[in-house]
């Protein structure tokens, strides 16, 4: 394969981003499409008008883009989806395991069904997608696996036992895969964002403002609190830019990293 132009470093590549209909995943899809990659978008729901509009936005950047709905709790369906993407778009070169779910509750009353769901989506699905995509990466002689973890993979957080456990596990999976592939052209890394201003977080801000009778700015400051010393949110676009770097040739020797983007939280 000839070298891609500097402005399109991922030209000729195919990227599969799980959970890419909104938030960080959508920002990653736009970033990689702008850099020339064909995009396999993924969400848990069937295609909608909003999904079609986002596909059109990606296609307007001059790349192929398709949408693939799948409930990632269905472990047996992940490998067949990878094969479908390969048949329709091309073999996956860049795998971004971004999809994740959350449930906040004390460990004393945390429902087993929620524990099982979080583990299935946040940890087991990345394992199955890595297992499905890596052989073709090795065969083609190039590949990038990027797992979207969290600062919750580095520290404990009360009332989030399943989320924290799944993200700690995802970092362990990242390191294990990176070491196994260390002498190959396939890398595996993780990104650990702190508070990212996504639509879900914005909803939390608005709920906090209403509940505590606060101005929105005060609610944002309360949410950031001591957990983001910069007192500023990470943006989805900043995370996406880091994905773009880790997916590139300049990151060939970044292996098993747990890249923090947390406004200084874990520096203390």
CA-nearest of 79, 74, 85 to 132 is 79
- Spatial CA neighbour of 196 closest among 244, 148, 254: 148
The 3-state DSSP class for residue 21 equals coil
**Stated length of the chain:** 268
What beta strand segments (E) does the chain contain? 14-17, 38-43, 65-69, 94-97, 143-148, 186-193, 258-261
Run of H or E residues at 174: helix 161-180
Q: SS3 for 231?
A: coil
Q: Which entry of 163, 233, 259, 265 is annotated as an active-site residue?
A: 163
Respond yes or no: is residue 67 known to be catalytic.
Answer: no
Residues with a catalytic annotation lie at 163
């Amino acid at each position: 394969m000839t070298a891609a132009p500097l402005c399109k470093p991922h030209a000729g590549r195919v990227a599969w981003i799980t959970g890419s209909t909104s938030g960080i995943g959508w920002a990653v899809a736009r970033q990689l499409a702008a850099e020339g990659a064909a995009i396999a978008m993924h969400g848990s729901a069937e295609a909608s008008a909003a999904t079609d509009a986002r596909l059109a936005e990606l296609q307007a950047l001059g790349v192929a883009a398709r949408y693939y709905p799948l409930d990632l709790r269905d472990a047996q369906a992940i490998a067949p989806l990878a094969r479908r993407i390969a048949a329709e778009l091309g073999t996956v070169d860049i795998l971004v395991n971004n999809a994740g779910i959350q449930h906040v509750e004390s460990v004393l009353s945390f429902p087993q069904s929620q524990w099982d769901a979080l583990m299935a989506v946040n940890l087991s699905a990345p394992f199955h997608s890595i297992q499905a995509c890596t052989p073709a990466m090795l065969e083609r002689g190039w590949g990038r696996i990027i797992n979207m973890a969290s600062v919750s993979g580095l520290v404990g957080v009360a009332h989030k036992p399943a989320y924290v456990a799944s993200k700690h596990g995802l970092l362990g999976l990242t390191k294990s895969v990176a070491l196994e592939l260390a002498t190959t052209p396939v890398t595996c890394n993780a990104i650990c964002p702190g508070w990212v201003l996504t639509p879900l977080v914005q909803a939390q801000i608005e709920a906090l403002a209403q509940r505590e009778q606060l101005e929105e700015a005060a609610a944002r400051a309360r949410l950031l609190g001591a957990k983001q010393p910069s007192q500023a949110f990470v943006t989805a676009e900043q995370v996406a830019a880091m994905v773009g770097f880790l997916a590139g040739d300049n990151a060939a020797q970044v292996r098993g990293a747990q890249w923090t983007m947390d406004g200084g939280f874990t520096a203390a």
